Amino acid sequence: MADTDPALPLAGVLVVACEQAVAAPLATRHLADLGARVIKVERPGGGDFARDYDTVVGGLSSHFVWLNRGKESVVLDLKVPDALAALRWIVARADVFVQNLAPGAAERLGLGAAELRAAHPRLVTCAISGYGATGPYRDAKAYDLLVQAEAGLVSVTGTEEHPAKAGIPAADIGAGMYAFSGVLAALYRRERTGEGTAIEVSLFDALTEWMGFPLTYAAGSGRAPVRAGTAHPAIAPYGAFTTGDGSEVVLAVQNEREWQRFCAEVLGDPALAADSRFATGSARVEHRDELHAAVDAVLGGLTGDAVLARLAAAGIARARRRDLVGDDGVLAHPQHAARGRVTTVGSPVGPVPAMLPPLGFAGGTARMDPIPDVGEHTAAVLAEFGVQGLGDR
């Protein structure tokens, strides 16, 4: 691996991760981005199964490319006593141990938080699970879609007629980010106390927290927010509108002053602001269909660029509804281009596209080390830690 920039905040921190899929790899990739050394322990016979989700990035999986840059891959068969002993030997020298093994598996392997921390009080352990270590759902399968359904995200996503899952693995991302922030907090606490700690994060708990607005709305009103596509259940006009050239403009009118400017300067109809159906925020939501018809009648006669220009002149929040690819796609976004956000990292198949880390530190160079091949670093890591005769078992 390339030398880590010493200006990065986690330079010198060793993380060992028995990880797969999305949540734990996302947490440890962010740690690697900040300078930590991450040793990723994979299974023999293919490694992390996220390697096989698809083959669209030059033969590599898009999930794996996204989640695993800057790590060292070590293959160990933890059913083999010598391999398990080797892992425990490496963990004893680590600062952080992250795992998202099946419920109870870490404890059966002697890698549970209680056992590890009893032997290594400075160690920070982080266990990521689907539903937590206790409760009736402890052993339930916790694929992202299933957790989105159980946490209610599917119930508030989509249109009134058609509920939908989020287009990204929201439960996995939520858990991964809470694990990442939890590890950072634990390392900070260790600097003050000298003691590590045990962190537990579940996909279900993380996503339920992210459901805070809909759950609070439901608790206060006795009903769930309506599914409204790109619209907002409590604000109108808000969402995507199709313009005369077929492009979609997203706008958000947040208060009465903006509503009056929107009517006068964008729609060219100041009197509409005082129409009793639309005169207050709650009235606009109640008469959303009629409101949208009035907006569509004007925007449908203009190009997307013309609508955006009017919205800008009126000081109304606006955006393009972009696809992922193409001349106007997210990868070609002018904001990314201006800030040099799109780059490449090395991989077993050569350079592949990547975004720079969202966290930047003054004086530090963003760490963009390669994506490892399965078991690429097994021999070197085992030799470094004095483990002999294992090969890639």
- Residues identified as active-site: 172
CA 226, chain centre distance (Å): 25
Q: Which two three-digit tokens encode residue 343?
A: 């780059």
Name beta bridge partners: 227. none
Q: Which residues contact 122 (CB under 8 A, 6 or more apart)?
A: 95, 190, 194, 195, 196
Nearest CA among 83, 79, 73, 185 for reference residue 124: 185
**Strands of the 248-252 sheet, one edge to the other:** 238-242, 248-252, 317-320
**How far from 132 is each of 181, 195, 355, 368, CA to CA, in Å?**
18, 24, 32, 33
Answer for the pair 387, 375: CB distance below 8 angstroms, yes or no. no
Question: From CA 269, how far away is CA 329, in angstroms rounded?
Answer: 33
Give 85-93 contacts, CB < 8 A, sequence gap 24+: 86/382, 86/385, 86/387, 86/390, 87/16, 87/18, 87/41, 87/111, 89/385, 89/386, 89/387, 90/16, 90/39, 90/381, 90/385, 90/387, 91/16, 91/116, 91/120, 91/123, 92/119, 92/120, 93/14, 93/385
Q: Which two three-digit tokens encode residue 350?
A: 């050569």
Q: How long is the chain?
A: 393
